[in-house]
């Protein structure tokens, strides 16, 4: 039973750190489980996917009610992320844990770089008769000076980027929120608040598409996945409450260095074939 | 009786409540499972790879149902995890019904495509 308590405490830390860095719990939980506790890679991915569903659904409640989440844009892009996730989860079944470790490390470094860049905040007008008009990829959100309206752009490249984000989620057991925000911010030019909350909203469904495959492959182990789930949900909750006070530039840089070191360590262990 | 039309605001509210209910139910069920598992005197094996659940979907589901009928802690925890996996799926069905009420047929079709991909995911997992 003590192992379960250690897993639980580790998961709280991962959830807290994932929430403070804005990277999500999965990014921390995979290295912790595999390299820290010696859990086989595919079991770690299965547990991480479950925790990703928990945090996404938990956080989405508040955002959906505040009215920032665009459910239509979310639903449309979920076609892309779920397709990607199914492919990613199937491919993961054929890959060696060390190969997955190396891919994980590369995506982790990419995520850090994406997170460090300044976030653009767009607000585009709707073009009548465009694809975005036909698919209703526009909306409004509450702001301090009233209701703001916006519309999406470049939906086709955005959609393709989402297929990739989904594939990484199914392959590595992460939410790939950073990749989703990249597609919605930089490509589709959505307002920052809309892209972050809608991305979070989609993460749950994307993770389910992968989890259905891991579960039936016997890779979601109840005594690993459940303490991780509960721990990450608790950790992210604590993190979301402290987010406002601690989001300074210095802290962001500190976390970026920690995550970079972590990905180098993952890369090293992948090359040295240390993953189970 | 409500006479005003069903809008996105109603849909947002019901989806929000559903997601919260799903997470709470799932965590509560897993906790009950853990308490049960503890009373059964469960010991974590020295190596995590000894925890395997079976290498085919038939074995996974077979042992799940067997263990659930016996009321074992392991299956109750698994039930909690399955409840969590089910939550976003029910969310899509909710949205689908919402779009039907709003008569937004483009999004009825889009929701159905997402559901179909989920079914494909389940079946490819099952065929493993």
Domain boundaries defined on chain B: 8-42+56-126
Q: Is residue A206 domain-resident?
A: yes
Per-residue pLDDT of chain A in tens (276 residues, 90 and over written 9) = 678 888 889 899 888 887 777 677 788 899 999 998 889 999 999 999 999 998 888 776 666 667 788 989 999 999 999 999 999 999 999 999 999 999 999 999 988 888 777 667 788 888 888 888 888 899 888 877 788 889 998 889 999 999 999 999 999 999 888 888 888 988 899 988 888 888 888 999 999 999 999 999 999 999 999 999 999 888 887 877 765 555 567 777 777 888 889 899 999 999 998 888
What's this model's pTM, rounded to 2 decimal places?
0.91
In a domain, A181, yes or no: no
> The domain containing residue A172 runs over which residues?
2-70+79-117+164-176+198-271
B41 conformational bin, left if phi > 0, alpha if psi -120 to 50, beta if neither: left
How many angstroms separate the CA atoms of B67 and B75, rounded? Answer: 6
The CA distance from B117 to the nearest CA of chain A, in Å, is 7
Domain-embedded: residue A254: yes
Interface contact flag, B13 A78, Cβ < 8 Å: no
Closest by Cα among A202, A200, A164, A178 to A74: A202
CB-based contact B107 A72, cutoff 8 Å: yes
d(CA A74, CA A148): 19
Cβ atoms of A89 and A210 within 8 Å: the answer is: yes
- Contact between B23 and A58 (Cβ < 8 Å): yes
Q: At what angle do helices A71-94 and B73-102 cross, to 10 degrees?
A: 140
CB pair distance less than 8 Å for B30 and A230: yes
Domain membership flag for residue A155: no
Asked if residue A124 belongs to a domain, the reply is no
Contacts of B61 in chain A (CB under 8 A): 216
- Our CA-based measurement puts residue A230 at a distance from the nearest CA of chain B, in whole angstroms, of 7
Position A29 in a domain: yes
Q: Say if the Cβ atoms of B77 and A223 lie within 8 Å.
A: yes
Domain count of the fold of chain A: 1
Give the angle subtended at the CA of A83 by the CAs of A132 and A228, to the nearest 5°: 115
ipTM at complex level: 0.89
In a domain, A189, yes or no: no
Count CB neighbours of A137 within 10 A. Answer: 23
User: A49 vs chain B: nearest CA distance in angstroms?
Assistant: 10
């Amino acid at each position: 039973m003590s192992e379960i308590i250690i897993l639980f405490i580790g998961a709280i830390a991962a959830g807290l750190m994932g929430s403070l860095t804005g990277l999500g719990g999965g990014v921390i939980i995979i290295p912790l489980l595999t390299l820290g506790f010696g859990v086989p890679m595919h079991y770690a991915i299965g547990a991480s996917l479950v925790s990703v569903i928990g945090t996404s659904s938990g956080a989405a409640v508040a955002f959906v009610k505040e009215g920032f989440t665009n459910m239509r844009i979310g639903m449309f892009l979920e076609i892309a992320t779920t397709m990607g996730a199914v492919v990613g989860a199937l491919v993961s079944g054929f890959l060696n844990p060390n190969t997955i470790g190396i891919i994980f490390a590369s995506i982790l470094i990419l995520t850090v770089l994406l997170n460090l860049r300044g976030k653009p905040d767009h607000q585009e007008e709707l073009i009548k008769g465009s694809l975005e008009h036909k698919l209703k990829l526009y909306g409004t959100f509450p702001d301090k000076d009233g209701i703001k309206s916006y519309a999406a752009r470049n939906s086709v490249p955005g959609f393709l980027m989402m297929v990739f984000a989904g594939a990484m989620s199914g392959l590595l057991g992460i939410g790939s929120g950073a990749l989703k925000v990249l597609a919605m911010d930089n490509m589709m030019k959505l307002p920052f608040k809309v892209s972050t909350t809608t991305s979070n909203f989609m993460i749950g469904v994307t993770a389910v598409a992968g989890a259905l495959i891991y579960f039936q492959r016997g890779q979601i182990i109840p005594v690993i996945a459940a303490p991780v789930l509960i721990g990450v949900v608790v950790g992210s909750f604590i993190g979301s409450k402290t987010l406002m006070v601690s989001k300074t530039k210095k802290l962001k840089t500190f976390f970026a260095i920690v995550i970079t070191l972590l990905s180098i360590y993952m890369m090293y262990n992948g090359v040295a074939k240390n993953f189970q | 009786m409500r006479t005003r039309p069903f809008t996105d605001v109603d849909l947002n509210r019901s989806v929000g409540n559903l997601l919260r209910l799903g997470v709470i139910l799932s965590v509560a069920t897993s906790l009950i499972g853990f308490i049960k598992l503890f009373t059964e005197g469960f010991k974590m094996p020295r190596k995590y790879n000894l925890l395997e659940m079976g290498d085919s979907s038939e074995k996974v589901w077979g042992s799940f149902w067997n263990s659930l009928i016996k009321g074992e802690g392991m299956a109750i925890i698994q039930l909690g995890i399955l409840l969590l996996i089910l939550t976003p799926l029910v969310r899509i069905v909710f949205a689908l019904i919402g779009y039907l009420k709003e008569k937004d047929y483009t999004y009825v079709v889009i929701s159905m495509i997402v559901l179909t991909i989920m079914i494909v995911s389940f079946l490819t997992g099952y065929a493993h």
